[in-house]
Chains A and B, each alone.
Chain A
Amino acid sequence: MKDINEIRKDFPLLQKKINGRKIVYLDNAATTQKPQCVIDAINEVYIGYNANVHRGVHVLSDIVSEAYENSREKIREFINASKKEEIIFTPGTTGSINAVAFSFGERYIKPGDEIVISHLEHHSNIVPWQMMCERKGARLKVIPITDNGEIIMEEYKRLLSEKTKLVAVTQVSNVLGTVVPLKEITDIAHQYGIPVLVDGAQGIQHCSTDVQDIGCDFYAFSGHKIYGPPGTGILYGREKYLEEMPPWHGGGDMVNRVTLEKTTFNQLPFKFEAGTTNYPGFIGLGRAIDYIKELGIENISSLEKELMHYAIEKLSAIEKVRIIGNPAERVSVISFIIDGVHQYDAGMILDKLGIAVRTGNHCAQPLMDRLKLDGTIRASLCFYNTREEIDALAEGIGKVINMFYK
């Protein structure tokens, strides 16, 4: 694997200074920085071969369509889906989950049915289900978690019944970094014939992910959290369900034959891709996947694990810092609070020191309520972060404490 200094050179933004300071970017769970090769790949579309995909007979449309479909294949391979037709392009994780909530709801959900989620979820994996339940007269059930931030498996098993029609859980908590035991959850659900949707927004970039090995029926993630551009999202869906589910949007490219009386839909995956997608973005995402593969996702995982342990060790050593949650398995996301200092105050001062962290409830208000917190400070790491940056964070926290305890 490349040396960390070489890796950092791949990311133009990491070379920049703001107010004369190097940027310490520890907000990777919100979005990741982009390597030059991804930026170039997107630019090349506009400069060299821009045309709408799947539309024209002309050469530009052919070139761009091929690059676009190559990206689909790269993504299929990356998550080990069995078929390219199971990879749907969406605007993001939120778009993917909303799409399933709508179409799955239309096809399979009746009044009195139940959807099971966990208490760890991001709003994106709560609100679409609430909306669907409202629309279809179904009910939302929530798997409780421990104080350490782990799903209670016994409670999960107890929640499942013949009324359960879908289980939707996150791969990794965006607040606590908890790695959720997806295989176990899926196996249990499948014993009852219940399909499982996984919100992979915080998992795909850190863990080697194989949808066939997990066995999940839907898997959603966002391109911008895995070094690709925003506005690109993936929905993997098991073919059987995608075939049965109605399209969520109607429009161009998703149809087979339109008459004013009746329309027949295009085949998978196009049935779910109405209108022009962010095709330069998806070509960029394909390049981001190449980049990850060049580094090796296993290498990335071990590098990030080491860095995270260093960060936990370093932050735990600060007297007034309390790390939130203590899951047995955690990746790259560390939430903490500083006793007696509001997270917003701390975030403001850290920002002035050139350290980018996120503060607040992280779009997970039910989880905050469960933890009895107003919010946390979240440092989220990835492979291009360094020990020096963790040291800078620790030093910054020291300054915050001095300032507010003066």
Chain B
Amino acid sequence: MNNEMSINDVQDNIIEEFSAFSDWMDRYSLLIEKGKELEPLDPAYKKNDYLIEGCQSKVWLYPEFRDGKIYFYADSDALITKGIVSLLIKVLSGRTPAEIKNADLYFIEKTGLRENLSPTRSNGLLAMIKQMKLYAIAFEYNTNKNTPGAAF
């Protein structure tokens, strides 16, 4: 779905959408809406293997590697958290491991989400990003490993 748009195009769209609201309550409402739009995660993946540690709410993140790209699916029992993960998926899902690994996620700062979602709030924003990047590194490593001559 993001294929025609770059990671930064998607981020810019999100920033624009959030900047339409100056009131924090409206921003949170938008975030909650984004969460509700998230494609449902197959219940089979709602298990501890896919649970992200370090969140006060539960977040499951499942990666699928297809045609050189990673597709992320996620869910959370808290709606604000679900909204956050849905934004991350909009930006990072359907990208190559290299794109994900190197992505500079400036939308978090520019939507004003960072000030509310600091790491000390244990909302797991940083844990989610870290997990997505780790998957990217892992898939990239596996791909290279299967390439002849890449054993070194």
Footprint of B on A, CB under 8 Å?
342, 344-345, 348-349, 352, 359-360, 374-375, 399, 403-404, 406
Contact = CB atoms under 8 A, between A and B. Distances in A.
Chain B's interface: helix, strand, loop or mixed, by majority?
A: helix
B123 to A, nearest CB: 7
Contacts of A360: 56
Contacts of B65: none
B78 A403 contact: no
Contacts, number: 39
B81 A344 contact: yes
B25 A403 contact: yes
Interface residues of B, number: 16
Nearest to A347: B56
Contacts of B79: 342, 345, 404
A200 B78 CA distance: 34
Nearest to A19: B24
B80 interface: yes
A342, A352, A399, most chain B CB atoms within 10 A: A342
Given A344-B57, A344-B123, A352-B116, A374 B77 contact: yes
Given A360-B56, A375-B56, A344 B25 contact: no
Interface of B: 24-25, 28-29, 32, 56-58, 77-81, 116, 121, 123
A342 B57 contact: yes
Contacts of B77: 342, 374
A374 B55 CA distance: 12
Contact of B56 (A352, A359, A399, A403): A359
A403 B32 contact: yes
14 contacts: A342-B77, A342-B81, A344-B56, A344-B57, A344-B78, A345-B78, A345-B81, A349-B28, A352-B28, A352-B116, A359-B56, A360-B56, A375-B56, A403-B32
Nearest to A346: B78
